[in-house]
């Protein structure tokens, strides 16, 4: 594991966050997004209030990855539920950075009173599914052929983590 600082994201991190996510849009397989993110839009997301939260992993003043929580739904009954996301710079995988970001997400969820976290993962992304299972998420279902990418139907695996 490399020396990494996990901290709350600030608007100055928006370009690096967008660059990491845009890489994943371009290579495919981990998001259904096709439109690249603009740093100005990411900056607005970073500023949204709790339960929204953005965290970055930083080493030597370089952003290696990011994690975020956002409301699962605007409906009142879901106010204790969030959806999570973690994306790493392509040179940062397999180095424990995702584990550090996930630990920060979990701490945030507990700190602000979130009870349930949801991760929606393209089912072909076995690495992400295994990662979430290592962190206590369980598979609760698969939505068959819910999305379409590169002229093929894709399933999405729904995973959850309950914080007690």
CATH number for the domain that contains residue 93: 3.40.630.30
Q: How far apart are CA 31 and CA 102, in angstroms?
A: 18
The confidence score (pLDDT) of residue 2 equals 60
- Evaluate whether residue 160 is within a structural domain: no
Give the mean model confidence (pLDDT) for residues 70-86. 96
Under DSSP, the state recorded for 36 is P
- Evaluate whether residue 104 is within a structural domain: yes
- Evaluate whether residue 76 is within a structural domain: yes
- Evaluate whether residue 61 is within a structural domain: yes
Q: What is the pTM of this model?
A: 0.94
- Evaluate whether residue 49 is within a structural domain: yes
The confidence score (pLDDT) of residue 35 equals 95
- Evaluate whether residue 133 is within a structural domain: no
Give the mean model confidence (pLDDT) for residues 17-29. 95
- Evaluate whether residue 10 is within a structural domain: yes
When the pLDDT of each residue in the chain is averaged and rounded to a whole number, the result is 95
Side-chain half-sphere exposure of 108, counting CA atoms within 13 A: 25
Report how many domains make up the chain.
1
Q: Which residue has the higher pLDDT, 50 or 113?
A: 113
Please, which contacts does 111-116 make with residues 24 or more away whose CB atoms are closer than 8 Å?
112/50, 112/51, 112/53, 113/80, 114/51, 114/69, 114/80, 114/81, 114/82, 114/163, 115/80, 115/81, 115/162, 115/163, 116/72, 116/80, 116/81, 116/82, 116/160, 116/161, 116/162, 116/163
The confidence score (pLDDT) of residue 14 equals 98
- Evaluate whether residue 100 is within a structural domain: yes
SS3 142: strand
Residue 125: both structure tokens together: 């992304």
pLDDT digits 0-9 by tens, 131-163: 999 999 999 999 999 999 889 999 999 999 999
What is the sign of the dihedral through the CA atoms of 73, 77, 78 and 79? Answer: positive
Residue 112: both structure tokens together: 């602000």
Domain of 79?
5-118
Q: Would you place residue 51 in the very low, low, confident or very high pLDDT band (cuts 50, 70, 90)?
A: confident
Q: How far apart are CA 6 and CA 35, in angstroms?
A: 28
């Amino acid at each position: 594991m490399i020396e990494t600082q996990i901290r709350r994201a600030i608007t100055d991190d928006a370009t690096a966050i967008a660059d990491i996510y845009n890489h994943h849009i371009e290579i495919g397989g981990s998001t259904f997004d096709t439109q690249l993110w603009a740093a100005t839009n990411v900056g607005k997301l970073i500023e949204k209030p709790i339960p929204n939260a953005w965290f970055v992993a930083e080493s030597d003043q370089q952003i290696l990855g990011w994690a975020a929580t956002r409301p699962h739904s605007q409906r009142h009954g879901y106010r204790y539920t969030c959806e999570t996301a973690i994306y790493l710079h392509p040179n940062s995988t397999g180095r424990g950075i995702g584990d550090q970001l996930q630990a920060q997400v979990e701490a945030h969820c507990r700190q602000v009173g979130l009870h349930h976290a949801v991760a929606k993962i393209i089912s072909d992304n076995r690495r992400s599914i295994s990662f979430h299972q290592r962190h206590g998420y369980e598979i609760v279902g698969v939505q068959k052929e819910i999305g379409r990418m590169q002229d093929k139907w894709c399933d999405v695996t729904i995973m959850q983590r309950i914080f007690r």
